[in-house]
A and B are shown apart, each in its own frame.
Chain A
């Protein structure tokens, strides 16, 4: 009995496509992995949907908004002064710097930023630089912790605790400081505070040096961060990065130098720059920025008008009853002060119609406020340009082609905070 056997002879093109089919089986499928929103390395509630080919990331889609509270909507429904506590909760690792940024933005709209008393300017710079130290200490500590260097985290948290103690005696709160007012600050420095800052500065440099000996030449640390997450100069500018992330890529742009505000023009400091733009460079930039902050703080304490405890009674607020609340004892005895107090509390300041943008060099990058006013006591629109939001938008470009394990290094080196990103 004869059997018929089908023999399939395929043309080369069909053979090639069959080979691809076979190879696809051998390659296996790509895996979709969900990272976050609750994950220790995402520093809050960032979620990243990853597509993995083995251990290599082929696609990354960051998902933000888990902490969205509608701060911009809230701002439209209250007076300028009432919004100050909300700025604490933007970058909650540096609330003092946010307070200063917001106050300066409203003062620019009012046109009084040049009239700020010198002592107020120095106190504000001290606040900003303490916030920068605090934020970078946490940033580097958490960065180290993510890559397995637990000791660094313990050192930085010891120092941060001291900054919180200083915040407490200055503002009355450790965390949600709400320290600035439009046209000044809520109170002068308490007796002995400047001395306490000086003591802290002498202690923190010892610990910064200790951290450097633990990390900077540590073989494991260098292997995990060098040439990882490289952001070239042009890409950093294209994606609008700011702060240490922009300077880590070698772009010389610091708002304290480029658009000087407060008393920064009177102070000597250097702006550190990276050369490659990798995670290691961003780490080095933050380390040097801390040393520069210490340098700025020493100069501020030396030069602060009125001296440490304000023996000469320098003012800390703008002398304008239509902007700053009058002293309480005068409200109880004077007619004019009573009227000022009443109008400011019920109606707010009389802000002129117009629009301004003010960018402030916050520890995480450029924190900007765009305020559109149509006159009266409340903003018509207040837009917050948050550095973390903009810095995170580079992730979908930066993460692909990296190893899965590099994510912790890259996220740690970008140093973001979700309270500010999601607003």
Chain B
């Protein structure tokens, strides 16, 4: 039983909301059209397809596109040796989807981290607090519109923090597709 066979079984069961499995570098990715059904879909993947191990949950900020968020689940079956990536899109207005903590307990901290970094909420999570940043931090730092140098923050009556002092930095390397002056590592404001 290969990962592709399992992905096809998955597709057969949830044909209305799952996309055709796509393969890149030997990895199978399947897209879920309706993020509201993620818990139900994951429950099936665990119980019927043997994906008993949740490797990771990550999140993408498709800044400037709609829907803005993508939540990426990496599933693995320890016994069958198969892996599958499930991606679910979430719109910016909603910024919410159901938790999968009832399927895999390890989702707890992964979901807290995504909430902390991107500001996507997980409905039904028992303890959705910030995890890496401190309680009361006002921003979501991994969003594409948050500057690399940070923003000043304040905890009332406790502390005031300036953005990190970087001598003339931070130096940002822009991806290709522009001319060499645009690309090179140099100081950039987030508007650029």
> How far is it, in angstroms, between the C-alpha of A397 and the C-alpha of B105 when the chains are bound?
10
Residues of A353-411 contacting chain B, CB below 8 A: 354-357, 359, 366, 368, 370, 372, 374-378, 380-381, 383, 385, 389-390, 392-393, 397
Instruction: State which of B24, B104, B176, B180 has its C-beta within 8 Å of the C-beta of A376.
Output: B176
- CB pair B105 A73 closer than 8 Å: no
* One of B33-41, B154-162, B166-174 contacting the partner: B166-174
Known A258-B81, A376-B177, A393-B109; judge A77-B148 contact (CB<8 A).
Answer: yes
A68 CB-CB contact with B under 8 Å? yes
Which residue on chain B has the smallest CB distance to residue A397? B105
Smallest CB gap from A63: residue in B: B131
B109 x A390 contact (CB < 8 A)? yes
**Number of residues in B with C-beta < 8 Å to the partner?**
47
- Which residues of A (58-103) have their CB < 8 Å from a CB of B? 64-65, 68, 70, 72-74, 77-79, 82
Kindly list chain B residues whose C-beta atoms are within 8 Å of the C-beta of A378: 173-175
Q: Which residues of B contact A392 (CB under 8 A)?
A: 109
Whether A368 and B55, one on each chain, are in contact in the complex, defined by CB atoms closer than 8 angstroms, is yes
Q: Which partner residue on chain A sits nearest B146 by CB separation?
A: A73
Instruction: Give the residues in chain B near A256, CB-CB below 8 Å.
Output: none
B74 near A370 with CB under 8 A, answer yes
Could you say which residues of chain B place their CB within 8 Å of the CB of A68? 132-133
The stretch of A222-230, A262-270, A342-350 in contact with B is: A342-350
In the complex, the answer to whether B173 meets A385 with C-beta atoms within 8 Å is no
Contacts of A346 in B (CB 8 A): 180, 183-184
Q: Is the CB of B106 within 8 A of A357?
A: no
Asked whether any CB of chain B lies closer than 8 Å to the CB of A422, the reply is yes
How many Å lie between the Cα of A283 and that of B137 in the bound state? 39
B26 to chain A, nearest CB (A): 9
Chain A residues with CB below 8 A from B55, complex form: 240, 357, 359, 366, 368, 385
Contact partners of A372 in chain B: CB under 8 A: 60
| Cα–Cα, bound, A421→B132 (Å) | 9
Tell whether B54 is near chain A: CB-to-CB under 8 Å.
Answer: yes
Q: In the complex the two chains form, what is the Cα distance from A328 to B45 in whole Å?
A: 52
Residue B29, interface by CB 8 Å: yes
Instruction: Indicate whether A377 sits within 8 Å of B132 (C-beta atoms), given known contacts A109-B25, A355-B29.
Output: no
Whether the Cβ atoms of A355 and B24 lie closer than 8 Å is yes
B172 to chain A, nearest CB (A): 4
Size bracket, chain A contacts: 35 or more
CA of A229 to CA of B108, assembled, Å: 20
CA distance A296 to B133 in the complex (A): 41
Within 8 A of A (CB), among B135-162: 141-142, 146, 148
Is B72 positioned at the interface, with any CB of A under 8 Å from its CB?
A: yes
Q: Is A377 within 8 A of B176, CB to CB? A: yes
| Chain A: minimal CB distance from B51 (Å) | 11
CB of A65, distance to nearest CB on chain B (Å): 4
Q: Which residues of A contact B174 (CB under 8 A)?
A: 378
Q: Out of B56, B78, B104, B173, which one reaches A377, CB within 8 Å?
A: B173
Smallest distance from the beta carbon of B187 to chain A beta carbons, Å? 11
Q: Which residues of B contact A350 (CB under 8 A)?
A: 176
Q: Please report A residues at the B interface, Cβ cutoff 8 Å.
A: 64-65, 68, 70, 72-74, 77-79, 82, 108-109, 111, 237-240, 251, 253, 258-259, 346-348, 350, 354-357, 359, 366, 368, 370, 372, 374-378, 380-381, 383, 385, 389-390, 392-393, 397, 422-423
Q: Please name 10 pairs of A and B residues whose Cβ atoms are closer than 8 Å in the assembled complex, sorted by A.
A: A64-B132, A78-B185, A82-B185, A240-B54, A376-B175, A376-B176, A381-B58, A390-B109, A393-B106, A393-B108
13 additional contacts, CB 8 Å, given A347-B180, A368-B56, A385-B55?
A65-B130, A68-B133, A72-B142, A109-B25, A238-B104, A238-B106, A239-B105, A240-B55, A357-B74, A366-B55, A368-B55, A376-B177, A381-B61
